[in-house]
Amino acid sequence: MLTMSSEKEYALDWIEENKNVLVELSDEIWEFAELGLIEFKSSALLADKLEKQGFRIERGIAGMPTAFKAAWGEGKPVIGIMGEYDALPGLSQRKIPRKAPLEPAAPGHGCGHNIHGTSGMAAAVAVKKAMEKHGMKGVIKFFGCPAEENFSGKVFMVREGCFSDVNAVISHHPDAMNAADLKSSLAVNSIKFHFYGKASHAGGSPEHGRSALDALELMNTGVNYLREHVIQDARIHYVIEKGGDQPNIVPPYARSWYYVRAPERDQLEFIHDWILDIAKGAATMTRTEAKTEFLEGSYNVVPNRAIAELIVKNMREIGVPRYSDEDWAFAEKIAKTISPEMKVAQLRKSKRPGWEKLVDKLMDDEIPDPWGDGETSHGSTDVADVSWQAPTVEFSTATWVLGTPGHSWQNVAQSGVGLGHSSLIFSAKVMAATSIDLLTNEKTLNMAWEEHRQRIGHKKYKSPIPPEHKPPLDIWEK
């Protein structure tokens, strides 16, 4: 390890001394595996720990019972750290390297958010300890962010001004690589389409019925023809949630759920409006009624090289984790469940310079320079909306075997064992060190803001969710 400031060393020592407790917290959230907007146990666990450490806590913010923010310190600068803790439906998995659900169809942490929330909380406490010990000025804030996977909780938090006073924000996400890249992301809208028709006996009197399912299928067909006429980087995907009850009843109600994505909000809105017209046309064709239910939307990420390079510098100073023999054995067994073709495809898609060198490795043991400036990842994240408020970077650390598919049982298994535990401690240290740099180095913070203003230019942020729209707290009851 290279020479670090005494403030950083103090923070990193605290994380190292408390790593067993942090691992236990992460594993406890892994066990909870709560879906977005109902992460009551996970949220309370993290908030309670921060409160016991002397943080000022605001719970239930932005209309979400599981959202909170915690702050310690006074004055400027204000550095934010984000954490997530929602799980994904249907990904229950035991901590073993073969597919075996703990409980069939139950949720599981297929994106490692048990690590995500705990690493951010740990970093915030470590920074607070260093600030207290060394008399540092400023404020460290932790944002407990629910429902990233499904309902973009941070977008509601941004709309309510939760990030209005921050000078910079950092976040960590588990992944297969150690990276702070410079890619943007796709903006996204999430919409449900409800069709209302008229039931009748499908055999005896079909002429009296009006099929909501026909309308839904015609809409889907129209959207599939639309695909030829959208930009290359756009994405449109859907599921049919409700299509009727049984074949001899003309379906009086049908429902689909769409995600629409594009690199910029204006491109997204153009496609979104076209799809609304297709839904209306399908209703006209079938003499049914169409209603839309807007769930959530988010922007594209605004990258920040100044902070990304600072994160990479700290990652290199701290050094990548060393794994136990047990960890390596687990990784080898997971790797056998991933085809070589899938691994190569995943690595190639990353566009990481020199990705070919990783083909024969189990875990990423390198820390590359930030890459991908000007490129767009085809996923979406509500971190994007935060990135329009202040310089923001979400980096990743190697948690999963290279080539591991996202949102998979393999993710769940690895996030609850030694591989995930190592990523947790490493990422917490990186966030703590980077936060201390931002608290103490005004020049770097000014560089980050200058870059932030240049990247946004004349564009204006307007919340993608209407003022009257509330988080869908009852969504899992529908």
Helices 418-440 and 19-32, interaxial angle, to 10°? 120
Cβ atoms of 456 and 385 within 8 Å: the answer is no
**43 found inside a domain:** yes
**471 found inside a domain:** no
Cβ atoms of 60 and 43 within 8 Å: the answer is no
> Exposure pattern of 31-55 as b/e (b: 16+ CB <10 Å)?
ebbbbbbbbebbbebbbebbeeeeb
Distances (CA, A) of 415 to 28, 87, 173, 411, 420: 12, 12, 11, 6, 4
Q: Does residue 258 sit in the same domain as residue 305?
A: no
pLDDT averaged over 10-residue windows placed end to end, the chain, 478 residues: 82 98 98 97 98 98 98 97 97 98 96 98 98 97 95 96 98 97 96 97 95 98 97 97 96 97 97 98 98 94 98 98 97 97 95 96 97 94 98 98 96 98 98 98 97 97 92 78
Predicted pLDDT of residue 478: 59
Q: Does residue 287 sit in the same domain as residue 418?
A: no
Q: Which helix (H) or strand (E) holds 396?
A: strand 392-398
Q: Does residue 265 sit in the same domain as residue 117?
A: no
Predicted pLDDT of residue 369: 98
Q: Does residue 50 sit in the same domain as residue 22?
A: yes
Q: Does residue 292 sit in the same domain as residue 345?
A: no
Distance CA 168, CA 181 (A): 17
Q: Does residue 118 sit in the same domain as residue 255?
A: no
Predicted pLDDT of residue 475: 74
Q: Does residue 270 sit in the same domain as residue 308?
A: no
**216 found inside a domain:** yes
Residue 193 carries which side chain, given as an amino acid letter?
F
Q: Does residue 413 sit in the same domain as residue 304?
A: yes
Cβ atoms of 382 and 154 within 8 Å: the answer is yes
Distances (CA, A) of 430 to 120, 264, 331: 10, 31, 23
Q: Does residue 160 sit in the same domain as residue 133?
A: yes
**118 found inside a domain:** yes
Distance CA 142, CA 349 (A): 32
Of 298, 331, 351, at which residue does a domain stop?
298
Of 282, 298, 314, at which residue does a domain stop?
298
Predicted pLDDT of residue 18: 98
CATH number for 419: 3.40.630.10
CATH number for 258: 3.30.70.360
User: How many distinct structural domains can be found in the chain?
Assistant: 2
Residue 46 carries which side chain, given as an amino acid letter?
L
Can you point out the beta strands (E) in 207-310? 235-242, 253-262, 289-298
Q: Does residue 266 sit in the same domain as residue 304?
A: no
**462 found inside a domain:** no
**466 found inside a domain:** no
Q: Does residue 156 sit in the same domain as residue 67?
A: yes
Nearest Cα to 472, choosing from 160, 39, 38, 34?
38
Predicted pLDDT of residue 227: 96
Of 278, 298, 318, at which residue does a domain stop?
298
Q: Does residue 237 sit in the same domain as residue 356?
A: no
**463 found inside a domain:** no
**214 found inside a domain:** yes
Domain membership of residue 212 as a residue range: 187-298
